[in-house]
Chain A
């Protein structure tokens, strides 16, 4: 009798387990089954388990534009009936690590974000060449890989230059157009510094070299000016030199170091080493600094996060002067900060259709007007409500932009190596010569190691 009871229990267990197994399988099953014409017999569908009606997923790495992107997805669904799911991560999350987890779990999104060559190297052979797409003819900001395939969709343009508060400069009688080299920059800094109380500012420049929090600002963006400022967009001389065993051109790097020394001398001491990004940006928004060493992405912070401070400071106009550490450098750096790639085993056709829509007038209207992106597409006519949009458009129209190549640096160069040297320099542990020596000694360790 007991035996039968045991058997019965076992049977119940079998049934229960089977039920569980079936229900979990079902989530995966429709994708596979719908490709066969729902006949009762089994069918052999090969590798691609995706199908129409499932929609696509977009893995966005810029959390600032999460809401507008979702708006765009909704508008797209309304227009075409196709679903786009936007997944936004950012603010310290390691995007590529998250993507790798997705990949391991077989859960890759159709469209995902990557920054430069080092990121892309992980996905070699897994992304789609989009050079046949309509949007490709409309922009030069797409990401082209080593083999000449267009694999990156540019969704915005950002700029790196020495941002200034036009009101303060005007009050101080400094003409930003007159800053064309190290002497004129120094003269402008000295003049503003002597009028600090009059202008009601804390320091001439908001420069922060905190290596824990802002290594990316110093080691990537500021250092990126050594690599690219003043060069033609396709000129890769200094990044090539850097990647070739970590070499620096001292004729160019020495004046760069002098410029950093100037920033150190005229920055707010409370911000310089122990500050953070919020202090820096809110300080600039509140009119405490005449200059700030941050790029165009702070524009949306001025108009959103710090709008009260910004309004109190008079909603001042902003602009860019080039980081003119050598007389005659007259360009700011503009580039797409990261690109979107399409995963080749995903729902490629729908992903490409969505990107084409996004690059078109309807998509760009949302991206520019709501997300505050500066459109990389020539045909775009929408204008962003961003204090930096005007200056960037102006530089672009005059052809005074350089590309940026700091994204081709090994991904840990700034975080593990150069950021700390900027901090030591700011602290006064080393002088300009020590800064140069340390850079020359340290960068090869990263490149070769």
Chain B
């Protein structure tokens, strides 16, 4: 028994060390750009082979560590490894790299120096960015109310015993199936060519900041209400029939049933829907891009004349990176955006959890 443990100890050590050496060699080859190649029938580059072999040897080494206590944990980790690795490579590592870049003057190709918190300080002095932040907040609040209101009314309509309810459901949901960019161009045509003729107005609604902002809201509500409506329909379907029947027998009219029974009973649905509309409105990008591309004149904001009157924050970040070549600065903005979104989501989850306990 003791010998067996010893054997395993040595085996595990050898495997671990061998694995580490192979990994280090692969890393070294990558950094120094040395391409070692062997010919075994076909030519094989050693770097990838070393990397894979090294990783597997380490895993095997971990497996043979002579411990009873942690054996299960080690096995769990080994089995989780592919998932954890993928998650790290696609989410965790890019996120840290992103944070790092936000402290540099990266232009998308290379960076020349670290700028510390300069990027973060600069964005609060940039009137155009503050404006984007403000109108995004305004947009979120208006949309959260409007989308939910419209969606709930549509849901009520689609749960009545109306003829052709199936058709209406499909019709309301359809806009959500069209991509935002396409939708933006469709509506651009409507605003610029159709509405100008109908209303006999000289200019498209998209040409003035105020009306263009309203136009974006209209399109967004049109796109999103159908989707939220489906969730409300689902919610309304969960209201027990017997409760509704009881209310009817008690003489409650439709309004009372709606406010005293249906709405309280689908409170959780409301939470989900508010959350969904909140985060998606914050991230509004494609419709904004296609409809106005952020253009709009603001005559005086913080003592400046702005041309990005309808530019939401996501589009602002995009333009900072791609139109102005300030990738590092855009990255800093994106991190602020991430923090805001994370805070909003956390608060939202907190609140919704509380309510669920009460129910």
Contacts and interface: CB of A to CB of B under 8 A. Distances in A.
Interface of A: 10, 13-14, 17-18, 20-22, 24-26, 28-30, 32-33, 36, 38-47, 49, 94, 96-97, 100, 103, 118, 121-123, 126, 210-213, 215, 269-270, 273-276, 410-412, 415-421, 423-424, 427, 429, 438, 441-442, 445, 449
Interface of B: 33-39, 42-49, 51-53, 56, 60, 63, 107-109, 126, 128, 188, 191-193, 196, 202-204, 206-208, 291-297, 304-305, 307-309, 319, 321-325
Contacts of A42: 36-38, 46
B46 A416 contact: no
A423 to B, nearest CB: 6
A96 B327 CA distance: 12
State the 5 A-B residue pairs at the shortest beta-carbon distance, nearest first.
Answer: A420-B307, A274-B204, A25-B48, A32-B35, A21-B52
Contacts of B292: 212
Nearest to B324: A412
A53 to B, nearest CB: 15
Nearest to A29: B45
A210 B109 CA distance: 33
Contact of A44 (B36, B38, B109, B204): B36
A411 B204 CA distance: 27
B307 A416 contact: yes
Nearest to A441: B305
A420 B299 CA distance: 11
B305 A419 contact: no
B44 A22 contact: yes
Interface-central residue, B35, B53, B294, by most chain A CB under 10 Å:
B35
Contacts of A421: 297, 307
B1 to A, nearest CB: 15
Given A29-B44, A100-B109, A424-B297, 5 more contacts: A33-B43, A44-B34, A97-B322, A274-B207, A427-B203
A163 B316 CA distance: 35
A427 B297 CA distance: 12
Given A122-B109, A212-B206, A429-B297, A411 B324 contact: yes
A88 B322 CA distance: 19
A36 B37 contact: yes
A26 B52 contact: no
Nearest to A126: B109
A22 B49 contact: yes
A424 B49 CA distance: 62
A412 B323 contact: yes
A415 B320 CA distance: 12
Contacts of B128: 416
Contacts of A26: 42-45
Q: Is the interface of A mostly helix, strand, loop or mixed?
A: helix
B199 to A, nearest CB: 12
Given A25-B49, A28-B45, A411 B325 contact: yes
Nearest to B192: A274
Contact of B295 (A20, A123, A211, A438): A211
Q: Is the interface of B mostly helix, strand, loop or mixed?
A: mixed
Contact of B297 (A10, A18, A420, A449): A420
Contacts of B191: 274
6 contacts: A18-B52, A21-B51, A47-B33, A96-B108, A416-B323, A427-B207
A273 B203 contact: yes
A342 B108 CA distance: 19
A21 B296 contact: no
A212 B315 CA distance: 13
Contacts of A449: 126
Given A97-B108, A103-B109, A122-B325, A273 B204 contact: yes
Contact of B47 (A25, A96, A442): A25
A275 B44 CA distance: 59
Contact of B33 (A17, A46, A215): A46
A104 to B, nearest CB: 8
B203 A212 contact: no
Contact of B304 (A41, A416, A423, A445): A445
B38 A40 contact: yes
B28 to A, nearest CB: 12
A423 B35 contact: no
A113 B44 CA distance: 35
A410 B319 CA distance: 13
A274 B203 contact: yes
Contact of A419 (B38, B307, B309): B307
A90 to B, nearest CB: 15
B37 A33 contact: yes
A40 B56 contact: no
B45 A94 contact: no
B324 A33 contact: no
Contacts of A24: 48
A438 B305 contact: yes
A94 B322 contact: yes
B48 A22 contact: yes
Nearest to A423: B207
Nearest to A103: B109
B49 A123 contact: no
Contacts of A43: 36-37
Nearest to B292: A212
A100 B108 contact: yes
Contacts of B196: 270, 274
A30 B60 CA distance: 31
Contacts of A22: 44, 48-49
B324 A410 contact: yes
Contacts of B34: 44, 46
Given A427-B203, A441-B305, A45 B322 contact: no
Nearest to A49: B35
Contacts of B203: 273-274, 427
Nearest to B189: A276
Contacts of A49: 33, 35
Nearest to A437: B305
A46 B193 CA distance: 60
Contacts of A20: 52
Interface-central residue, A13, A25, A410, by most chain B CB under 10 Å:
A25
B305 A29 contact: no
A432 to B, nearest CB: 16
A212 B36 contact: no
